[in-house]
Amino acid sequence: MPAPSLAIIQSDVPAWQRMLSDLVTDPQELLELLGLDHDDNPFSSAAATQFPFKLPRWFLSRIKPGDWNDPILRQLWPASQEEAEVAGYGFDPLQESQFNPVSGLLHKYSSRVLLTASPHCAVHCRYCFRRHFDYAANAPSREHWRAVFDYIANEPRVGEVILSGGDPLALPNRQLDWLIEQIEAIPHVNTLRIHTRMTTVLPQRIDEALCARLKTTRLSVVLVSHCNHAQELSPESKSAFQQLRNSGVTLLNQSVILTNVNDNVEILADLSRKLFEQGVLPYYLHLPDAVAGTAHFDVELPLAQSLVAELQTRLPGYLVPRLVREEAGEYSKTRYA
């Protein structure tokens, strides 16, 4: 029998998976595509080696050409400031390694556990608090996942399982389906939470098969999108959120407040309004974590508090995100507004 042609093999691969492998990974190519000059804002080879640069070619369309101040570009560009060694900034500021009883699982807060379901993401956000995370030690094989589900089954306080990563939606539907099946089999777990950046950086990921699976699970499903600026939202993200809502998924958003990206009341108000227009409620506004290489994104607490206070005067309460910081060893996030 003749071997199937490449065209046939390709057509079996969902469109989003093809888009996920169509990435810009060379900062120099990005500059050419955006018409920018390297000398104006040189990238750091050291930073791009430690945490490689990447973004889906599709998401390029959300970045304004010729503008170093573009808020999406600023989140993704491996700037030379990443090389600065700043006191108080480390590799594991949340001490996650202390809450890692089984490979692939973090148990920080009593009623929920987090699974590092995938080590991969569509984009590499330069402020990422897991940019130094040991994914190699936390990417269990299917066999080792057994230890993860045994751990949850033996922890009756755990009612919610969070799929995180990396980005859990970088996994193919078949693998997600298997993970969800294992979680469904644990009677005391009633909520599945998915944290993802795919809904904005590659919204085509929200396909029919995924939505059908989420619609039929016995678990209540919450999807927390990670979006920091209204410019990330698109007609495609609107359609993705709509499909998720039609599948009974509760939609929330969390943002990180970042210098020169969204540390401005107009930008934050615009983000809240536009998220709501797409059916998503703003939930958390995170202060950045003290991760090595990210100090240039930091926003001082008093400034963040004053911005949220100003938001409260402009928006209805349900559109004002809670200002929080995650602190190592605390039993919940610390809330500031």
- C-beta of 20 vs 315, nearer to ligand SF4: 20
- Alpha-carbon gap, residue 208 to 55, rounded angstroms: 24
Tell me the closest approach of the beta carbon of residue 27 to ligand SF4, in angstroms. Answer: 16
**CA 19 to CA 86: how far, in whole Å?**
37
Instruction: Return d(Cα 90, Cα 204) in angstroms, integer.
Output: 35
Closest approach of Cβ 123 to ligand SF4, in Å? 6
Residue linked to tokens 């950046």: 197
Radius of gyration of the chain (CA): 20
Rank residues 226 and 296 by Cβ distance to ligand SF4 and give the closer one.
226
Closest approach of Cβ 267 to ligand SF4, in Å?
A: 19
* Residue 29 one-letter amino acid: E
- CB 120 to ligand SF4: min, Å: 8
Cβ proximity to ligand SF4, 168 vs 186, nearer residue = 168
Q: What angle do CA 100, 101, 106 make, to 5 degrees?
A: 40
Binding site for ligand SF4 (CB under 6 A): 121, 123-125, 128, 130, 165-167, 197, 226
CB of 272 to ligand SF4, least distance (A): 20
| Assigned token pair, 110 | 């009593």
Q: Are 153 and 159 in contact (CB under 8 A)?
A: no
Question: Partners of 116 in the beta sheet?
Answer: 164
Nearest to ligand SF4 of 131, 274 (CB atom): 131
Q: Which is nearer to ligand SF4, 186 or 280 (CB)?
A: 280
| Spatial separation of the C-alpha atoms in residues 184 and 218, rounded to whole Å | 7
Which of residues 115 and 128 has its CB atom nearest to ligand SF4 in the complex? 128
In contact, 119 and 107? CB cutoff 8 Å: no
Q: Please, what is the minimum distance in Å from the beta carbon of residue 104 to ligand SF4?
A: 15
